Amino acid sequence: MDEMDDNLTESAPAAGARATVTPAAGGAEVVARDVDLFYGDHQALFDVSLDMPANKVTALIGPSGCGKSTFLRCINRMNDRIAGCRHTGSITLDGQDVDTQIDEYLLRTRVGMVFQRPNPFPLSIFDNVAYGPRRHGKPSREALRQTVQRCLERVGLWDEVKDDLKKSGLGLSGGQQQRLCIARTLAVDPQVLLMDEPTSALDPISTSLVEDLMSDLASDHTVIVVTHNMQQATRVSDYTAFFYMGKLVETAPTTELFSRPKEKQTEDYLTGRFS
């Protein structure tokens, strides 16, 4: 074990680690155009058009049930498996239509997702992170080790778990599990990270660790985060989009939206005048 650590710290993680999957040249721009979405007869999104620029954090806010998660799931096509769910309009990733021009399973390696409840696989910490690279390529053992270390370091978990890589991921604390899930997603070098209320099940310290991580990840990923926490949106995001009853009401750079909302509905929501 020790020997392995030495090897890892000496060789720069960048070179071999990325060899497993095509290197991502940073984030990709995600653009939604005229998206109408239906669950059976129930329309959940109305004509949503939104630009989510590359290498920025876009926050989606709005009251419960307004369609934030639904919109997020369109981007990695997790809605496909919900019976009766269909949408019109288009969502593109660097100009490629996610529904027609990219394979469903490949799409999900380019667009990673982090959930509200941490959901590590019932595997060891190492295997959790190594899962994606193994599944989507044939990495050498050494490359795999480096990927795992690089991803765990990126999420600030390496020092906490480097001696316990063989232990089950489910034995970690909630906050550690969530960072492990982020590391697992990073291991396949996604361009876009979708996060659906990633901190709402975490304690304040873990929350702030994950928030810092979001800002850091935005340097080479497009981060799209759903949050119910207004402070969090102002702390981490560059752009904010306000949804209400399935419609995109307003979108603007975060500081602008919070200080000078243009729409009355946005202002009411931000000042807590309705919920």
Q: Which residues bind another protein (CB under 8 A)?
A: 76, 78, 81, 83, 105-109, 112-113, 115, 117, 119-123, 131-132, 135-136, 167-168, 170-171, 181, 184-185, 188
CB of 115 to another protein, least distance (A): 6
Paired tokens of 133:
């690279």
Backbone torsions φ then ψ of 131, nearest 5 degrees: -55, -50
Among 35, 48, 66, 183, binds ligand ATP (CB under 6 A): 66
115 binds, among Mg ion, ligand ATP, another protein, none (CB under 5 to 8 A by kind): another protein
CB of 55 to ligand ATP, least distance (A): 25
Phi, psi of 203 (to 5 degrees): -75, 165
Question: Which stretch in 65-73, 139-147, 155-163, 257-265 sits in contact with ligand ATP by CB under 6 A?
Answer: 65-73
Which is closer to ligand ATP, CB of 66 or CB of 93?
A: 66
Q: Under 8 Å CB-to-CB from 154, ≥6 apart: which residues?
A: 183, 186, 213, 216, 217
Between CA 7 and CA 12 the distance in angstroms is: 10
User: Is residue 64 close enough to count as binding ligand ATP by CB under 6 A?
Assistant: yes
Helix locations, the chain, DSSP H = 2-10, 13-17, 68-75, 104-110, 125-136, 141-154, 158-161, 174-186, 204-217, 230-236, 254-259, 264-270
The interface partner of residue 154, options being ligand ATP, Mg ion, another protein, none and the CB cut-off 5 to 8 Å by kind, is none
